[in-house]
Homo-oligomer: A and B are copies of this chain.
Amino acid sequence: MEITLKAPLDMHLHLRDGDMLRLTAPLSAAHFAGAVVMPNLVPPVKGIASLGAYAERVRTAIEEVDGNCAFAHYMTLFFRPYSEEELAAARETEVFFGIKLYPAGVTTNSAGGLVDWSAAEPTLKCMEELGIPLLVHGESHGFVMDREAEFLPIYRRLAEHYPKLSICMEHITTAGALRLLEEHENLCATITLHHLLLTLDDVVGGSMRPHLFCKPIAKREEDREALLEAALSGNPRVMFGSDSAPHPREAKECCGCAAGVFTAPIALPCLAALFAKHDALGRLQAFVSDNACRRYGLTPPQKEITLRDEPMHVPASYRGYGQTVVPLYAGEEIPWRVVKDR
């Protein structure tokens, strides 16, 4: 079996910075036509200048490895109160995609996130008027298994209060989020590969597995099944976003491991295998590209990626520039591989 994907997109990607960026950006660029790049650096990307400079570092990191690689880096700003002028200027910036909102402290490098929702109102209103997408890490500070469910009323309030604002519920993990999605046209959602594959049982049900630990944490089997059904069905407001989140090996395997699963280099083969297994290979194009292009009016580079049901051995780690990152399924065999990219 074989499938050729047109312009696959990763609508939620962490590339980090410095040497980690140099290692990871080319791995995404090899398989994807573009990606929405998250702004939670240290310090976060909070202005047009730093957004432009980060975009340039992403471009350079990819060019270093492949000078002819076509890869659209859709850059994001870290949410803070922005003035109308700033937002207008952002919108005019070619590489700018949208604004990512983190409630303060909910995940990696989000300490500077939102504390006071009322202070966010003018910015959200202006984003709505200017047509700037809002991307949200939707978790409360509550009990780890309830954080997304507790955040759903905030999504609902945002959707109702800003009916023209394009709101993306990022990396959803629950059946409840999918039910909410159906209620509001201005909501869309990204789903990761690992939340299609894992439940909390995989993370802490047997032994404790740091490389499967992420935020939001993987939930119950019924949640995983609902996410999978939404992805397989071609639901037009559901898009693939890997949330591939590299951490140095030592930050994952130490006591107190950092949150994030690194999936970028195996995401498309794993998705192809998953969709094929469920007889839904024909709807993979929608999930990994068409839904996002339609939703956001994107015209990514004309890259085609062909995948085939031939086994791929996943490296024990990806190394380079002094960095070592361990991917999902490290050292294991997965049933599909990329056979051609152009």
Q: Which residues of A contact B (CB under 8 A)?
A: 143-145, 199-201, 203-205, 207-211, 213, 217, 220-221, 253-259
Contacts and interface: CB of A to CB of B under 8 A. Distances in A.
A199 B255 contact: no
Majority secondary structure, A binding face: loop
A144 B200 contact: yes
A255 B210 contact: yes
Contacts of A201: 143-144
A255 B211 contact: yes
Contacts of A208: 208, 210, 213, 256-257, 259
A204 B208 CA distance: 10
**Most B Cβ at <10 Å: residue of A199, A200, A258:** A200
Contacts of A199: 143
A185 to B, nearest CB: 34
Most buried by B among A201, A204, A217, A256: A204
Given A253-B254, A254-B253, A143 B205 contact: yes
A200 B143 contact: yes
Given A203-B204, A211-B255, 12 more contacts: A143-B200, A143-B205, A143-B220, A144-B204, A145-B200, A208-B208, A208-B210, A208-B213, A209-B255, A210-B210, A210-B257, A253-B255
Copies in the complex: 2
Contact of A143 (B209, B221, B255, B256): B221
A161 to B, nearest CB: 29
A204 B209 contact: no
Contacts of A200: 143-145
Nearest to A256: B207
A93 to B, nearest CB: 35
Contacts of A207: 256-259
A208 B144 CA distance: 12
Nearest to A207: B256
20 contacts: A143-B199, A143-B221, A144-B200, A144-B201, A145-B145, A145-B200, A203-B204, A207-B257, A207-B258, A207-B259, A208-B210, A208-B213, A208-B256, A208-B259, A209-B255, A209-B256, A210-B255, A210-B257, A253-B254, A253-B255
